Structure 1
Amino acid sequence: MEPLGQDANDHGQNSVGDGVHPWEVTDMTRLRRFICYGSEMAIYDTKEHRLGMESALALLSLLQEGRGCEVVEEVKRLALEGRPVRTNPSLFALAVCSQHLDLNTRRGAFRALSDVCRAPEHLFTFIQYKKEAKERMRCGIWGRALRKAVSDWYNKQDAMGLALAVTKCKTREGWSHQDLLRLSHAKPANEAIVLISKYIMKGWKEVQGAYADKENSEEVIKVLSYLEAVEKVKHSADEMEVSHLIEEHSLEREQLLTDHLKSKAVWKALLKEMPMESMLRTLGKMTADQVLEPGSSDVAEVCERIQSEAALKKAKLHPFSVLTASENYKRGQGNRGKVKWEPDVDIIKALDSAFYKCFTIFARTEAETQVMAYSEGAIVPCTITEGMSLRQVATELVKIPSGYTDCALPILWASEKTITVDMFIIFTNTACWHGEANPAECLRMYRHKMGIFSKLMVCGLTSNGLSIADPAEDRGMLDLCGFDLGAIEVIRNLALDLI
């Protein structure tokens, strides 16, 4: 259990005045929840569920009230700020807005397409959501506005970035680039986009014939050279040639054939410029395939890169992602148990080091944090300091005798001692028991007594369902079912009053 306290005087928006109810759940609150994690309810679930109109009632209500432009701006804002935990809810909301009766809402949705759909897979998913919604209405989707929006999406891309995107992600959700270019009647904005469009629609041989004897611009020459490398890789069984092409053109794993990934030389070539997140995911396989052998220069280079603060910052890795990669690697086998390896000691040390270098837990980022624990039905202090390692924290926690989780106790404790708490965060791996006092009622009484808008977050680490938060009446309460990187972002968003 971890109640988190911070001086509320630094947060004027948390003050509770007479007649003011900052905890009211509005349709815009429900919309933000939906965009962030795909549900309008005050429950975050680590399992992602299929989206439908029945899960977006607040979105529909806002549209009916004539607030469609506000919805589009909110979707766009959260996408540009990188706030949404999951991409699909934003794409779903934008798709619904793009077919609303209000002309300004539709136009706004199509203008926002390039900001929200940052990769081909996003664009394909958006189109599929539109199709599913339109099928219920028994009408087509490819009107002039969608054709222009899709055409603009391709034309706004950097040529080399687009060449990479269309060769890495060719299809998704039953759609392909060929489908979208054909149905949108796309008119390429420059010669490099013309070349890429021809490649998509007609294939490499047509491109070769069309550009062989032309005087091409420098940009077109670069795109031609890149696409030629992609095509050569497709038809090469020579691991040295494939390795050379990877190194010369910075080709990525998704552009290779499955057979190529059986080669150590190919993996070593990929490793040189492999994105950090991809590298962490494939450490086990590379160790199993003896690409990374104990004491080798390859292991030394990987360890150096994993621990590089500059590389970690550039990759924008969350410490939880590093921790997950570390635990998966230490386990010595893949999730399905087919691939097994002997974890390398140096790699494990490097992962541990990387974790602490990008680690930003509450105790390190909040000056006024108090960590408490449940012990035999009571709240007791827990000595966790900023400089502790994860192992030291775990050692400290296991010293405390465990007890049942009465979610009202930390609120009652803070109220009795008149301690100002902005946000109570409870982590538990046992059943959440209400006890004699209802946590929601205790929180309201605490707010009234202290005069601030305190929040309550309950995270059941192994839970399939929670019912602590008031889903309809109080936006300052939220339940988490399970824990992942998305859960961390949800906690952050609630703390910052974003959901």
Structure 2
Amino acid sequence: MEPSERSSIPSAGSHTHNSTGGPWEVNDKVRLCRFLCYGSEADTYTAREEARCGLENAGALLTMLQEGRGAEVVDEIKRFSQDGRAVRPGSLFFALAVCSQHSELKTRQAAFKVLKEVCREPAHLFLFIQTKKELKEEMKCGIWGRALRKAVSDWYNEQDAMILAAAVTKCKQREGWSHQDLLKLCHTKPSNEAIALVCKYMTRGWKDVQAAYSDKENSEEVVKVLSYLEVVEKVKHSCDETEVINLIEEHQLEREQLLTDHLKSKQVWRALLKEMPLQAALKILGKMTSSKVLEPGSSETQAVCGRIQCEATLKKAKIHPFSLLLSSENYKRGQGYQGKTKWEPDSEILKATDSAFYKSFMNVEPVGKRFLLAVDVSTSLSSIVPGTSVSTAVAAAAISMIFAQTEVDTQVLAFSEGALVPCSISADMTLAQATAELVKLPGGCTDCTLPVTWASESGKAVDVFIVLTNNPLWMFAASPVESLKKHRRKFGVASKLVMCNLTSTGNAVADTDDRGLVNICGFDLGAFSVVRSLALDLI
């Protein structure tokens, strides 16, 4: 990216509709984009907090709809979904449901047109329908009109039959709705014979499918779907462990397609682990170790470790390094957060997750901006990031490493009570070495504006400042917004500031009406998406 391109102040038109507030005004479009990104119109993202959306916290969405900007809203919903920008996808389904029940015909039509693109999985569709049901009284409207019936029918009819068969057998019902409910309410007319087969299976059951298709001359696609559904039914009624394992391995069945009794078998779990999506496997490493499915030195443990460290597998699964850090630290803890599950961490699994952490940096797509990460070392960084097993020191080091190794222009500082020390976070460093590099300053007071002031006085233009602190008490030599504005004016850049309190569960470091400043409370994988969206002027 050329310097002139990335240094330009964003135009008001990019976020302002008929506004005179300037490029940094927090207007309805900005609030809508925040809502779509992380489920809140405020400037604060709280990690691991996912409250159910309601009309009371979607003011900007309602205002834009009332102003006749429904098509614009639906376009944003579609973009956030397609680009994977939504940290909490539930906000997308809620916003789409509101648009689909708005009084303006064009808005409703636009919403139903993108239903399949936004609600890609059965669970999404069920949540969308349930949200519409919950909005019925508040919005004083019906649900099952012709438009919804057609949109839901199209959702089923436009699927590949084999993909649909797999999806509906893995997610049969959710949110109080089933596929049978939706198909009957929509009076769906299948678009082809293979889809008709899946629909009959969902509404009438396997016996009726057998009766209808066993003596017919079926097309190749119908035979393929029929065979797959036969396997799903066979495994549901099998008490033979060997048969269940063979069916899993031959047809790549997943745990959602099995019975609870099947999941009491170690051998069944070992079969599932062979093809289980890597992200899902990482989440259950502790459980698998506790139940002796994974034992020290076993072939199953070696196979899992091989998958975790495989660059091709990591790349295909798009595993983020911070996700691997969370999994590794949780496994190292030897105990789950809920229940009484305990395990003795396996050294080979720990080595594998550690190795994968460094390899997964390739999965982080660069933003192409100039970053300055400043780590506040005024207090001990031995606290734990809420909801994780990661210390704030390790979290700060990992965050710094991820940006330093994926963004070409990144400066890392440690600061405390007027003192700022540049840190050398190099590509050949281990996480432990990076952590030690950050905590070499003595304690003192916290002034989170120091990094901005330092950059201005050092002649360094910065696009995005990220301040990491775990101090619940802070002082400012000047307002964070004023310091940021001075930096913008001095260098002519569209600088933004992320204030992150790693130990907070909801208290923002700074409150502002400047859309270039966002607070993060705690830290999780979604926080990276929030920072990315802010850096790219998307929220």
Q: Which moved more, 1:361-370 or 1:443-452?
A: 443-452
Q: 1:142 Cα deviation (Å)?
A: 0.1
| Unpaired segments ≥5 residues, structure 2 | 13-19, 365-401
Q: Give the partner amino acid of 1:306.
A: I
Once residues 457 and 11 of structure 2 are traced to their aligned partners in structure 1, the CA distance between those partners, rounded to angstroms, is 19
Work out whether residues 282 and 327 of structure 2, in 8 Å CA contact, stay in contact via their aligned partners in 1: yes
Instruction: State the secondary structure of the residue aligned to 2:500.
Output: strand
Matched with 1:447 is: 488
Work out whether residues 23 and 453 of structure 1, in 8 Å CA contact, stay in contact via their aligned partners in 2: no
Matched with 1:79 is: 81
Once residues 383 and 324 of structure 1 are traced to their aligned partners in structure 2, the CA distance between those partners, rounded to angstroms, is 24
Matched with 1:26 is: 27
Task: State TM-score, norm by structure 1.
Answer: 0.95
Once residues 92 and 435 of structure 1 are traced to their aligned partners in structure 2, the CA distance between those partners, rounded to angstroms, is 39
Q: Which residue of 497, 502, 506 maps to 1:456?
A: 497
Matched with 1:41 is: 42
Q: Which residue of 329, 344, 347 maps to 1:345?
A: 347
The residue correspondences of 1:270-289 to structure 2 (distance < 5 A) are 270-289=272-291
Matched with 2:477 is: 436
The residue correspondences of 1:84-483 to structure 2 (distance < 5 A) are 84-359=86-361, 360=364, 361-471=402-512, 473-483=513-523
Once residues 417 and 75 of structure 2 are traced to their aligned partners in structure 1, the CA distance between those partners, rounded to angstroms, is 49
Q: Give the partner amino acid of 1:49.
A: A
Q: 1:422 Cα deviation (Å)?
A: 1.0
Q: Give the partner amino acid of 2:8.
A: Q
Q: Give the partner amino acid of 1:481.
A: C
Q: Give the partner amino acid of 1:480.
A: I
Q: 1:20 Cα deviation (Å)?
A: 8.8
The residue correspondences of 1:44-55 to structure 2 (distance < 5 A) are 44-46=45-47, 47-55=49-57
Q: 1:207 Cα deviation (Å)?
A: 1.0
Q: 1:432 Cα deviation (Å)?
A: 4.8
Q: Give the partner amino acid of 1:425.
A: I
The Cα offsets for residues 439-488 of structure 1, whole Å up to 9 and x where unpaired, read as 112212222222222111011111123344444x3110000011011111
* Structure with higher RCO (Cα < 8 A, 6+ apart): 1
Alignment of 1:489 with 2:529, yes or no, is yes
Work out whether residues 407 and 434 of structure 1, in 8 Å CA contact, stay in contact via their aligned partners in 2: yes
Q: 1:114 Cα deviation (Å)?
A: 0.4
Q: Which moved more, 1:6-15 or 1:152-161?
A: 6-15
Work out whether residues 376 and 401 of structure 1, in 8 Å CA contact, stay in contact via their aligned partners in 2: no
Q: 1:402 Cα deviation (Å)?
A: 3.1
Q: Give the partner amino acid of 1:42.
A: D
Once residues 11 and 33 of structure 2 are traced to their aligned partners in structure 1, the CA distance between those partners, rounded to angstroms, is 22
| Paired residue total | 492
Matched with 1:3 is: none
The Cα offsets for residues 298-337 of structure 1, whole Å up to 9 and x where unpaired, read as 2221111111111111111111111111111111222225
Q: 1:373 Cα deviation (Å)?
A: 1.2
Q: Which moved more, 1:204-213 or 1:403-412?
A: 403-412
Q: Give the partner amino acid of 1:25.
A: V
Q: Give the partner amino acid of 2:450.
A: L
Q: 1:7 Cα deviation (Å)?
A: 9.4
Q: Give the partner amino acid of 1:124.
A: F
Work out whether residues 500 and 509 of structure 2, in 8 Å CA contact, stay in contact via their aligned partners in 1: no
Q: Give the partner amino acid of 1:11.
A: R
Q: Give the partner amino acid of 1:356.
A: Y
Work out whether residues 7 and 463 of structure 2, in 8 Å CA contact, stay in contact via their aligned partners in 1: no
Q: 1:66 Cα deviation (Å)?
A: 0.8
Q: 1:382 Cα deviation (Å)?
A: 2.1
Once residues 405 and 10 of structure 1 are traced to their aligned partners in structure 2, the CA distance between those partners, rounded to angstroms, is 34
